[in-house]
Structure 1
Amino acid sequence: MRKGRVLFALIIFFGLIYAVYQYTPIFKPNTIEIVVKSPKAYFSANKTVNIAISDKTAPIKSIKVELISMNTTIKLFEKQFNEPLVKQFDVNFKPNKVIPQGKAVFVVSVEDYSKSNFLNGFKKVVQFPVFVDSTPPKVILLSGVSRIKIGGAALAIFYVKDTNLKDVYLGVSRDGVVDRFRAYNAQTIFGNPNVYLSFFTYRLSKLKNYSTNIYATDEAGNLTIVHVPVFYTTPKIRTSRINITDEFIKTKVMAILEHEGIPKKETLLGDFLYVNDIVRKQNYAKVKEICSKSESKILWKGRFSQLFRSAVTATFNDKRFYYYKGKLVDVKYHKGYDLASVRNARVNAANSGRVVFEGYLGVYGNTMIIDHGFGVFSLYGHLQSFLVSVGSYVKKNQYVAITDTTGLAGGDHLHFDVVVDGYYTNPVDWWDYHWIKAHILNVIDEAKTRLSLLNQ
């Protein structure tokens, strides 16, 4: 009899332990996980809600997504799982509902089939404040049809307004890629904080399927795209033959490799090809990085100046065929103008601006870059020395450097580039006052007229 009571007590004891283990959250806690990938701080009824839901120990029973706005609960999504089978579920949907703009609370509620909460299942709620903004930015093109030669530059001016504006830029699509040009706030010109401008260029394209658009995005992810009409022409491309000798490689190429700390290749030709391709691409990337930040005002005035008393020895986008021992080994496009004067000629600044870089830059040798504002830069390569320092503001035609043969230069000359937001463009346009007036000054005046009509 006593043994029976002990056995019964043990059964009750272990039964209680099992019940505590199996049906209470002491040993089996809530394992529901909710990861809200979007929205974050801002919510748009036009953007996809993306939530990852999982439960390590029990199947999901129900999911509910709501928005509490102006003391009203708006049901966005609800799903019941009638069978206890699913432990992981991704919520993806567009609300497509009219929701009042302003402050709200985003709420996600999930219940599971767990028996570890006294047979009631677990529930987890994630909620956080959001700002509802379902209105895309307002974008109005203020400039008219842009005209551009491939390789040349053009200016687009536009009005963008959004309380929660996040990003605005101009994009040129070509050959399946998009060249992105920074939109600079142009309040210094127009006196309006909602006016932006972008200088841009059309790079060489195989398909010539150019498309130019303004992209404006707000914090909620609402996107506005406005097309920029562009009429373009194709200039004739010059070609040239450059014969590479062993002596040139041993002197010019080796100097670059040593300066960059790059080991020599197995052959002299390998050394040349590495510098002409890999090092050159690295130099282009460095120039793009340097030219990614510019002052939001025009620092220059009038047309740009060519190197005084210089002759043009190579032009923009010249197609260069490199031969080594009579064999074609490489093809490259020249990204600027080569200007020859006397040996160690003094270099005049093409226009006023601020010196943002001076130093050694691979194929360019000793190089100086001047910021002229709104993403326009001038580059001076193959220099011997610098006459001004980084950070200095220089005047148009002020002497800033001395020419030489540093970098991949076969003789004493100046390599001159005009760079727009990191992209090379034809300097010859910037030397022409009539081009400056027609493609920049007149465009600004037309935009001012359209802006005044917009403000009426």
Structure 2
Amino acid sequence: MALARGYTGKKSSNIVPIVISLAVVGAIGYGVSLYSFESEDPTIKSSHNKYWNRVSPITIDIADNEDLESYEISVSDGQKEVITNAETFIKPTKKKTISFVYPQQPINGVLLNQEATKIEVKIKAKDKSKWNFLMGNSASLELALTVDTIPPEATVLTHSYSITKGGSALVIFQAKDDNMRDLYIEANGNKFYPQPYKKAGYYATLIAWQHNKPDFKATLVAKDEASNQKEIMIDFYPIARDYRVSWIEATDKFIDGKISELASSETSLRNRTERLDKLKAVNETLRDGNEALIHNASKAVSKDILQSWSITPFYPLVNGQKVADFGDDRHYYYKDKTKEVAHSLHVGIDLASNQNAPIVASNGGKVVMDKLNGIYGNMPMIDHGLGLYTLYGHCSSIAVKNGDIVKKGDIIAKSGMTGLALGDHLHFGVLVQGVEVRPEEWMDQHWLNDNVYKVFTQADGVIR
């Protein structure tokens, strides 16, 4: 029995490494097999699907979940066909973007018709899989494109005469194209999208001049599906405005108090222990995140036809006195005024009244936010239509919920000192499609008469 046990043990000790080796090789082979024999086809996407002007580039995006082997693009005028792009990949490649234009010179002796009205584009792609009897996976996309070389029609009907740095303006225009793809007013890198006004083909758009941008330029842009584009510069009278620059001492009391309170309430900031690190994290990093939420929630513009739009001056806090201005450029220092330790822009006005004072909706609208938002504290935000939004920060309580429709005169919240506030007050902000603007304009009946009502009245005289 002892000999049998000894002999069995010796044989087992020789087999174990072999079994392990075979298992490892098998696992590796299994993994390679999964990779080599994956069965998912490549994907192909095109920037143009129905129309083309033969001039603007067509962009093709090709992707594979593992590894592309090759692609080929051919273009035909209905009579002749040429290969414009082709590539076989040597290095591992999962994604490839190709841009090409209609060939204006012969390719391999073949010149396509330069006046063709119908164009066919074929894209083929293949991956390196061993699937499909070692042939791999493949995909193809065929585009039948109608040539359109006529840009959209566009005319500016009327607009606010002037715009102030940090302020707003209204533009009403006409635009038409059977295949319109994109329509907006571009101002300082921001795109302001219009709402249809009165009837099809007419549009109204509020635009903004960011208070920290030195110059202003506004351009109406209309693009169709064929990539034809019409641009019209809008001639505003720009009014320069200086905004206050403040140097504020960050005391130990301030940092150990309100700043630490906010840092401890944010999971991502709880490990900050150094005073200046906490100050910068709250006043810059947290603020950026809070404002990103505000910007994202205040971009939408309705696509429904707007028959009329009426806004009365905003006065959200009865007997409220302004205690901080819009556009303040705030630089924080710690003991040494020559060394900045944090920076922020104040993009609203602060109004103070009695403690826990009622905050009233000056105009009707839809509540799009009703949450605690970092430095802004409890903060409802209202969509008033046409891309105009108002927000109410530092509230002690909120009386409305997301999705509620509020009417003029409704109490929406009460003032407080939640968020980054050292005393009871209301931070009142106004945004046009995600861009903060001067609330003072929207609190001024004279400004509204000249820049909003007058523009609508002029447009109504043209639109019949």
The TM-score with structure 1 as length reference comes to 0.74
Alpha carbons of 1:52 and 1:320: their partners in 2 closer, same or farther (altered >3 Å)? Answer: closer
- Which AA in structure 2 matches 1:149? T
Correspondence for 1:196 among 186, 203, 208: 203
Matched residue, 2:194: 183
Conservation of the 8 A alpha-carbon contact between 1:364 and 1:407: yes
Aligned with 1:142: secondary structure?
A: strand
Correspondence for 1:447 among 456, 459, 462: 459
- Which AA in structure 2 matches 1:183? P
Aligned with 2:395: secondary structure?
A: strand
Matched residue, 2:300: 293
Matched residue, 1:218: 224
Matched residue, 1:44: 53
Matched residue, 1:434: 446
Render the CA deviation track for 1:58-114: whole Å, top value 9, x for unaligned: 9x9xx963233xxxx4x5x6479xxxx9979x88334684444xxx4615599xxxx
Distance 2:77 2:224 in 1: 20
Distance 2:374 2:296 in 1: 15
Distance 1:45 1:435 in 2: 47
Alpha carbons of 1:36 and 1:167: their partners in 2 closer, same or farther (altered >3 Å)? Answer: closer
Alpha carbons of 1:65 and 1:246: their partners in 2 closer, same or farther (altered >3 Å)? Answer: same
Distance 1:320 1:213 in 2: 32
- Which AA in structure 1 matches 2:256? K
Alpha carbons of 1:168 and 1:109: their partners in 2 closer, same or farther (altered >3 Å)? Answer: closer
Pick the structure with more strand per residue: 1
Q: Is residue 330 of structure 2 the alignment partner of residue 320 of structure 1?
A: yes
Superposed, which structure 2 residues align to 1:77-116 within 5 Å?
78=82, 92-94=100-102, 97-100=114-117, 104=118, 106-108=120-122
Deviation, 1:409, is 0.4
Deviation, 1:306, is 4.1
**Gapped regions of structure 2 (runs ≥ 5):** 1-41, 63-67, 90-97, 105-113, 125-138
Instruction: State the percentage of identical aligned residues.
Output: 30
Matched residue, 2:148: 133
Q: Is residue 256 of structure 2 the alignment partner of residue 242 of structure 1?
A: no
Conservation of the 8 A alpha-carbon contact between 1:65 and 1:109: no
Conservation of the 8 A alpha-carbon contact between 2:119 and 2:147: no
Q: Is residue 401 of structure 2 the alignment partner of residue 389 of structure 1?
A: yes
Distance 1:407 1:194 in 2: 45
Alpha carbons of 1:304 and 1:268: their partners in 2 closer, same or farther (altered >3 Å)? Answer: same
Distance 2:378 2:45 in 1: 51
Render the CA deviation track for 1:381-425: whole Å, top value 9, x for unaligned: 000111122222212232110111100001000000011100000
Comparing 240-249 and 281-290, the one that deviates more: 240-249
Conservation of the 8 A alpha-carbon contact between 1:299 and 1:353: no
Deviation, 1:144, is 4.1
Distance 2:366 2:222 in 1: 29
Matched residue, 1:283: 290
Distance 1:86 1:363 in 2: 53
Distance 1:40 1:349 in 2: 46
Comparing 226-235 and 237-246, the one that deviates more: 237-246
Aligned with 1:280: secondary structure?
A: helix
Deviation, 1:441, is 1.1
Conservation of the 8 A alpha-carbon contact between 1:294 and 1:371: no
Aligned with 2:158: secondary structure?
A: coil
Conservation of the 8 A alpha-carbon contact between 2:77 and 2:116: no
Matched residue, 1:311: 321
Alpha carbons of 1:52 and 1:153: their partners in 2 closer, same or farther (altered >3 Å)? Answer: closer
Alpha carbons of 1:401 and 1:49: their partners in 2 closer, same or farther (altered >3 Å)? Answer: closer
Comparing 412-421 and 279-288, the one that deviates more: 279-288
Distance 1:38 1:411 in 2: 53
Matched residue, 1:227: 233
Conservation of the 8 A alpha-carbon contact between 2:51 and 2:226: yes
Distance 2:350 2:204 in 1: 30
Q: How many residues align?
A: 381
Distance 1:91 1:407 in 2: 49
Aligned with 2:446: secondary structure?
A: helix
- Which AA in structure 2 matches 1:403? S
Deviation, 1:448, is 2.6
**Gapped regions of structure 1 (runs ≥ 5):** 1-32, 111-123
Comparing 262-271 and 322-331, the one that deviates more: 322-331
Deviation, 1:243, is 3.0
